[in-house]
Amino acid sequence: MTRLTFKKSTYSAGDVNCVEVAASGKQNFIRDSKDSDGPVLAFSREAHSAFIDSVAAGEFDFGLL
């Protein structure tokens, strides 16, 4: 596998409780910033984009906030 370059959102302000994202080919990869040697999730770019759109639309709020 190609070495991935993970990035955090600039909104994280250095917080360690974040997810990091990397892109390679037609896939996006996500990992926990606290465990850079831990598991990495892989998604197609289309699936990741659909998930982000759903989060932005509030589909996963479930009245928790």
- Averaged pLDDT, 39-51: 96
For 7-64, strand residue ranges (E) read 19-24, 27-32, 41-44
- Residue 17 tokens, joined: 């409780």
Q: If you average pLDDT over residues 38-65, what whole number do you get?
A: 91
List, for residues 5-43, the tens digit of each pLDDT value: 999 888 877 667 788 999 999 999 999 988 989 999 999
User: Left if phi > 0, otherwise alpha if psi is -120 to 50, otherwise beta: which for 54?
Assistant: alpha
Cα separations in angstroms, 44 against 8, 33, 39, 64: 19, 21, 17, 28
Could you give the C-alpha distances from 28 to 13, 25, 51, 58, in angstroms and in order?
A: 22, 8, 12, 22
pTM: 0.78
